[in-house]
C-alpha cells in the first residue's frame, strides 16, 4: 500500500511542482509509519512480566520462551541491553537459568551471553545475581541438553571476557573442571 501510494502521488513529468496531501492521506501515512515503529520499553515490560510468571502449564512455558526470544533479538544493541537491566529485566532472566525446562534455561543463557558480552557494568550486575555459578552448574551437568550446555558455555565466556573480577572468580571455582 505504501509503495502504491508513493508512486501514485509522484508525477515524473513535472519535478518542480509541489503536491499537497489531503488530511486523510496524511493521517493514513502517519498510521502506516507508526505501525512500523516499535516501543521497546513496552516490549521489554511485557516480556519481563512473562519471565516472572510461574511455569504452570505449557502455555506459560511457551510465553516465557517467546519472551526470552524477544529479549534476545533486541539486546544485541548495547543501549537496549542496558535498558533491559535498567528496567529490572536481567535478574528475571538469570532466574530463568533455574527453570525445570531446558528450553527456558538455554534461551536465558543465550540472552545473558548476548547482553553482557564486552560490557563490564552488565557483567558485574550479572555476577551479583550468581550468574556465573548457575551457568557453570548448567555446563558441568552432563544430563543437560547439548544446546543448554553450549549456550551456558557461551554465556560463561561472555561473562568473564575482559572482566578480571569475573575471571578470577571463575578460576577460583576451578573453571569448568
Tell me: the pLDDT tens digits for 111-135?
Answer: 999 999 999 999 999 999 999 999 9
Indicate the pLDDT class of residue 24, thresholds 50, 70 and 90: confident
Q: What is the pTM of this model?
A: 0.79
Contact 93, 71 (CB under 8 A): yes
What are the pLDDT digits (tens) for 88-112? 999 999 999 999 999 999 999 999 9
Instruction: Please report the pLDDT score of residue 9 as a whole number.
Output: 66
- Residue 38: pLDDT band (50, 70, 90) is confident
Helix 131-140 to helix 146-160 angle (10° resolution) is 140
pLDDT at res. 141: 94
Separation of alpha carbons 174 and 177, rounded Å = 6
162: pLDDT strictly greater than 80 = yes
Q: What is the pLDDT of residue 20?
A: 74
Neighbours of 89 (CB within 10 A): 24
Give the mean pLDDT of 143-147.
96
pLDDT greater than 60 at residue 167: yes
pLDDT in tens, 3-23: 776 767 665 665 555 567 788
- Residues with Cβ within 8 Å of residue 73, at least 6 apart in sequence: none
Which CA distances in Å does 56 have to 21, 53, 99, 125, 137? Answer: 53, 9, 12, 29, 24
Domain ranges of the chain: 40-172
Q: Which CATH architecture has domain 40-172?
A: Alpha Horseshoe (1.25)
Q: DSSP states of 48-93 as a string?
A: HHHHHS---SHHHHHHHHHHHHHHHHHTTSHHHHHHHHHTT-HHHH
Amino acid at each position: 500500500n505504501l509503495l502504491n501510494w508513493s508512486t501514485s502521488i509522484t508525477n515524473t513529468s513535472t519535478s518542480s511542482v509541489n503536491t499537497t496531501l489531503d488530511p486523510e492521506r496524511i493521517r493514513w501515512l502517519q498510521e502506516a509509519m507508526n505501525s512500523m515503529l516499535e516501543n521497546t520499553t513496552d516490549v521489554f515490560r511485557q516480556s519481563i512480566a512473562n519471565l516472572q510468571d510461574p511455569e504452570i502449564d505449557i502455555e506459560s512455558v511457551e510465553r516465557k520462551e517467546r519472551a526470552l526470544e524477544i529479549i534476545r533479538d533486541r539486546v544485541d544493541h548495547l543501549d537496549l541491553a542496558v535498558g533491559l537491566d535498567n528496567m529490572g529485566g536481567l535478574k528475571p532472566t538469570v532466574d530463568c537459568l533455574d527453570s525445570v525446562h531446558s528450553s527456558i534455561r538455554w534461551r536465558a543463557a543465550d540472552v545473558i551471553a548476548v547482553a553482557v558480552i564486552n560490557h563490564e557494568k552488565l557483567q558485574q550486575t550479572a555476577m551479583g545475581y550468581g550468574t556465573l555459578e548457575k551457568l557453570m552448574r548448567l555446563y558441568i551437568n552432563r544430563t543437560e541438553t547439548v544446546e543448554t550446555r553450549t549456550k551456558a558455555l557461551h554465556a560463561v565466556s561472555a561473562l568473564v571476557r575482559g572482566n578480571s573480577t569475573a575471571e578470577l572468580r571463575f578460576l577460583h571455582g576451578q573453571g569448568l573442571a
